[in-house]
Structure 1
Amino acid sequence: MLKLFKPVFYVCGLLSLMMAAMLLLPTTLGWFHQDSETHAFLVSAGISFIAGVFLIAAFRPRKFSLGPRQLYLLTCCSWALLSVIGALPLIFGHDHIRFTDAVFESVSGITTTGSTILTGLEYMPHSLLLWRALLQWIGGLGVIGMAVSILPFLHVGGMRLFQTESSDWSDKSLPRLADLARSLFLVYMLITTGCILGYWINGMNLFDAISHALTTVSTGGFATDDRSMGRFGPAILWVSVLFMLLGALPFVMFIRLLTQPSLKVFLDQQVRGFLLIVAVLTLIMTLYLIGQDIYGPFEALTQAAFNIVSVITTTGFASTDYTLWGGFSLAFFFFVTFIGGCSGSTSGGMKVFRFQLSFMFLIRQIKLLVHPRGIFSIRYNGKEVEDDIIFSAVAFSFLFFMVLVFTTMVLALTGLDFVTSITGAATALTNVGPGLGDIIGPAGNFAPLSDTAKWVLSFAMLLGRLELLSIMVLFSGVFWRG
């Protein structure tokens, strides 16, 4: 058993050292502003550093290698570790946030969900606000790396459809993985820098521009004010729309665009499908807002585009309380919650490609009913899709809705009403952020929920972020007997 865990704990040690270094950024900012959280960040950095050194020293393997079972363990252990470390500044901070609330906030940050238990954000120290933004930025980068290298290799939820030469964990492929990691980090930094400049040029102060850029590109949704993005004008909202969309597109596409500049990269079937869905949904909601005389044409387009892109990319920003737009709006945003962005992006949700595969599978089944002896293949991006990829995507979808039902029932048992229970479960599993209703809606907060509900939602956020199967496989006896 130790042989199974040894390289996993070693990598967790490296991640702990990385988090210690990241904690020094808000520590420095806190020292500069002489705010009350500086000591908490310094203590947290020290704990993370000591834990990292211990794990590396105690579990350093003679020959480093990771098999499929260890990758499952690493995926789960690393995200759990980052969540605990992320909670430390909140626990040791001046306000002494309770352990459950601190872990909930940290899990929400590292999974780029954006649900929060904090209020009065505009009065909080800048160091704490920066840390919340950094958690989401780190989580977004981790999501991309996991989606393009680990999950395709593990055949999770149809992800093998996007397997590249770097989605291979054999020794000969490690140099390619290192090159991929550097390229992803470079692209991530470039888009984040562009977002910072876009916000700053259009009127945000530098701190707000940096904080919001970190949570926009990571499609996280943590803001520096309880009003989220509602305090900013149309120009900033449109900048946010642009960079939320960029965050929801496959980052491998941007790498190809840098190495081989060509507009052909935008012909990707998943990208075209995603952008078409966004355009159609925005048009529908814009016409609805104009028809209901809620906004004028331009403001209707701005509010519809911003809030739809925020939900479909699973960012979770809000410019207004869209639940006040009527019953159609409630149903509309509830179903949009499930869609998500593209595979290999920072966004959560079920991902567009699974809807596309399911639709093509449905069409094939209809054709087979008419022509039972016919042979009909499913092609995606010009390549024939193997049946095991279809089966994996269908299994993921079935598991997703089973977990959604179970989580909803558990939340209802804690005393929550049906709307709060089902939208809370949905927003956690899809990593969107706000739910619907008076409690956890766009104008609400997760603080009133019971500790039990917060732990359930924290686990659901991790499940959704790790594509469900990566965690569920650990609960099977065959995994531990393997």
Structure 2
Amino acid sequence: MSFFSRMPLFVLLIGVAGLAMLVPAAYAAATAWYEIARSFLFSSVLMLVLTALLGAATAGGRRPGPHGRSVLATMLGVLGVLPIALGLPLAMVLPDTGIFNAWWEMVSCLTTTGASLYAADMLAPPIHLWRALVGWLGGLFILVSAVAVLSPMKVGGFEILSSPYGRSERFRPLPESADPRNQPQFFLGLGADRTTPSARAMRVLRDVGPYYAGLTLALWVILLLAGDPGLVALCRALGTLSTSGISPVAGSVGVHSGVLGEVVVAFFMIFALTRRFWPGGGELRATETLRTDPELRLGLTVVVLVALVLFLRHFFTSFEQEIAASNVATGVLISLRNAAVAAWGGFFNALSFLTTTGWNSVDWQGARSWSGLESPGLLLAGLAIMGGGVATTAGGVKLLRVYALARQSERELERVVHPTSVSGGGRMARRLRSEGAYLAFIFFMLFALSIAVTVLLVSIRPIEFDTAVILSVSALTNTGPLAGTIHLTPSFESTAGFASNPWEGWSGLAALPKTVLAGAMIVGRLETLAILALVTPDFWRR
């Protein structure tokens, strides 16, 4: 184990990618897709041999340090360069797609964006399994790197609640009697951890990995019992825990399992609302109890309010139509029944896009057909921009930053009425309203600037402005299915091969917009890490 902890993190992840390729290879061999199995097997052997060579070459070198520059380069390399290796079997199976499109597809999967260049019914089942598996590994990488990499650098959301004095202020209470010759360690946190990124990642993986894999297995079994086919249930489970939204079939979540499957998936989506459900990330706990967790309360409140707005929107639109088509009593009963169905569809979609998963409920289309209204795509885009919990698999701006700005706004309104009042709420509440709100506002400005720059670069090619905006927001929030909720003008400047699907708005783009959007996915996944790290003092401190 010590040998692996001394290896560079990027080399270790190449080996993990090689081992992961054996899973679709075995599945393809078991289902008689022998050519696909051979491609994955050869790619796996190549990755493992490359890992062994790089590991031997770096074993006797200088021990990598925990400096921020090397960590930042590793994060960028994993999300930008590793997809080339991940896309190698895809390029071999689809020879007309090219290595560029295969790289783009793997960037989308690894960043848990879930946008695809290909039509679901044109890809073989092992390819779907590989896409979902890469998305699942990308979610695990985010959970691990959030604590092992981002936390020591105080970026990626950890800056909201971090101490401005450069040390942890969380203390355990002193025992009733203590031996002065054997004082316990009362400091918590990773500030004094000088181990390598690989060692920290392996330590966090031992804590997070069993929970992540166990929850995925549990969801897979439940979806199988609910009626989903084996591959569909597995990809749904992988896509839910990683919030990638990757599915082997087009359509809603409850196509096979019904509302029961959607209820189960919605329950497991809650794990993307707060880091409290995962090991590590203790610095992000603004409260001591789960009931008062700000991210969880804000997320569920937003979901309920959006579901209520959509319910009233559909209900009042269709109520007059139902009354006019039948008598009053029958019309009221029909409207209430349809309204209950539409309420669940709105609740599921709101939670799905808030966690940046991007799946639709089976009742979502029914609600639209019932009321005759168009899909509120801009509302779903706003939920995706808000995002889920900090240091979770969800993308977006994150709920904790929104909460910090909301508390600061509340405090400013209170000072208008009572100028000499003293704010309360405890140390963490004051931290959120002061330094936390200031840093959250900076991040909002950086996020808005990222959207503007991405739209500007994408619009260099002849692309409709609204299409460029939606694609840019989808990429920066890591919510690829968002592009399917709003009518886009397809582009036919390029193709990803015979399996491409230009009507979704991605595969028909030229090479320049695709490259820009792939970079936006990486920036959105790292939360403008390169910009934030440059203004963080810890980045320059040895």
TM-score where L is the length of structure 2: 0.77
Which is worse superposed, 370-379 or 466-475? Answer: 370-379
- 2:219 maps to which of 184, 192, 195: 195
Cα shift readout 1:293-319 (whole Å, capped 9, x = no counterpart): 298123202321222222111012234
- 1:461 maps to which of 496, 503, 521: 521
Distance in 2 separating the partners of 1:202 and 1:443: 32
Distance in 2 separating the partners of 1:217 and 1:297: 29
1:271 maps to amino acid: L
Cα shift readout 1:49-69 (whole Å, capped 9, x = no counterpart): 232223222223453432222
**Distance change (3 Å), C-alpha of 1:351 and 1:59:** same
Which is worse superposed, 172-181 or 142-151? Answer: 172-181
**Distance change (3 Å), C-alpha of 1:201 and 1:220:** same
Which is worse superposed, 200-209 or 281-290? Answer: 281-290
**Distance change (3 Å), C-alpha of 1:157 and 1:205:** closer
Q: In structure 2, the residue corresponding to 1:160 is in which secondary structure? A: coil
Counterpart residue number, 1:144: 143
Contact 2:8 2:64 in 1 (8 A): no
Distance in 1 separating the partners of 2:252 and 2:50: 35
1:275 aligns with 2:300: yes
Distance in 1 separating the partners of 2:134 and 2:510: 24
Cα shift readout 1:78-134 (whole Å, capped 9, x = no counterpart): 222332222111111145422222112111100111111111x23532211110010
Distance in 2 separating the partners of 1:155 and 1:372: 33
Distance in 2 separating the partners of 1:450 and 1:442: 11
Q: CA deviation at 1:204?
A: 0.4
Counterpart residue number, 2:487: 437
Distance in 1 separating the partners of 2:70 and 2:471: 32
Q: CA deviation at 1:400?
A: 0.6
Counterpart residue number, 1:3: none
Distance in 2 separating the partners of 1:454 and 1:238: 35
Counterpart residue number, 2:129: 130
**Distance change (3 Å), C-alpha of 1:172 and 1:115:** closer
**Distance change (3 Å), C-alpha of 1:290 and 1:169:** farther
1:390 aligns with 2:430: no
Which is worse superposed, 326-335 or 136-145? Answer: 326-335
Q: CA deviation at 1:158?
A: 4.2
Distance in 2 separating the partners of 1:373 and 1:126: 65
Contact 1:75 1:470 in 2 (8 A): no
Counterpart residue number, 1:260: none
Pairing of 1:201-216 with structure 2 (within 5 A)? 201-216=225-240
Pairing of 1:106-117 with structure 2 (within 5 A)? 106-117=106-117
Distance in 2 separating the partners of 1:439 and 1:318: 21
Pairing of 1:312-391 with structure 2 (within 5 A)? 312-319=354-361, 326=373, 329-367=376-414, 376=423, 384-385=431-432, 387-391=434-438
2:20 maps to amino acid: M
Q: In structure 1, the residue corresponding to 2:290 is in which secondary structure? A: helix
Structure number with greater Rg is 2
Distance in 2 separating the partners of 1:85 and 1:94: 15
Q: CA deviation at 1:226?
A: 2.7
Contact 1:117 1:447 in 2 (8 A): yes
Distance in 1 separating the partners of 2:402 and 2:531: 22
Distance in 2 separating the partners of 1:82 and 1:293: 50
Contact 1:354 1:393 in 2 (8 A): yes
Distance in 2 separating the partners of 1:380 and 1:145: 28
2:518 maps to amino acid: S
Distance in 2 separating the partners of 1:29 and 1:249: 33
Pairing of 1:60-75 with structure 2 (within 5 A)? 60=59, 61-75=61-75
**Distance change (3 Å), C-alpha of 1:155 and 1:412:** same
Which is worse superposed, 322-331 or 452-461? Answer: 322-331
- 1:241 maps to which of 251, 255, 266: 266
Distance in 2 separating the partners of 1:422 and 1:38: 39
TM-score where L is the length of structure 1: 0.86
**Distance change (3 Å), C-alpha of 1:96 and 1:471:** farther
2:350 maps to amino acid: I
Q: In structure 2, the residue corresponding to 1:338 is in which secondary structure? A: helix
1:310 aligns with 2:352: yes
Give 5+ residue unaligned stretches, structure 2.
163-167, 169-187, 281-287, 320-334, 491-500
Counterpart residue number, 2:310: 285
Distance in 2 separating the partners of 1:168 and 1:48: 34
**Distance change (3 Å), C-alpha of 1:266 and 1:100:** farther
Counterpart residue number, 2:495: none
- 2:28 maps to which of 30, 33, 36: 30
Contact 1:184 1:252 in 2 (8 A): no
Q: In structure 2, the residue corresponding to 1:415 is in which secondary structure? A: coil
2:131 maps to amino acid: R
1:87 aligns with 2:134: no
Counterpart residue number, 1:219: 243
Counterpart residue number, 2:470: 423
Which is worse superposed, 290-299 or 339-348? Answer: 290-299
**Distance change (3 Å), C-alpha of 1:480 and 1:453:** farther
**Distance change (3 Å), C-alpha of 1:173 and 1:114:** closer
2:21 maps to amino acid: L
**Distance change (3 Å), C-alpha of 1:311 and 1:375:** same
**Distance change (3 Å), C-alpha of 1:280 and 1:142:** same
Distance in 2 separating the partners of 1:474 and 1:55: 30
Q: CA deviation at 1:370?
A: 6.3
**Distance change (3 Å), C-alpha of 1:22 and 1:405:** same
Contact 2:161 2:431 in 1 (8 A): no
The percent identity for this pair of structures is 25
Distance in 2 separating the partners of 1:481 and 1:58: 29
Distance in 2 separating the partners of 1:196 and 1:144: 20
Q: CA deviation at 1:380?
A: 7.3
Q: CA deviation at 1:15?
A: 0.9
**Distance change (3 Å), C-alpha of 1:220 and 1:462:** same
Counterpart residue number, 2:54: 55
Cα shift readout 1:417-441 (whole Å, capped 9, x = no counterpart): 1111111111110101132323479
Q: CA deviation at 1:255?
A: 4.2
Which is worse superposed, 336-345 or 368-377? Answer: 368-377
Contact 2:136 2:239 in 1 (8 A): yes
Q: CA deviation at 1:392?
A: 2.6
Contact 1:340 1:352 in 2 (8 A): yes
Counterpart residue number, 2:171: none
Q: In structure 1, the residue corresponding to 2:289 is in which secondary structure? A: helix
Distance in 2 separating the partners of 1:380 and 1:447: 50
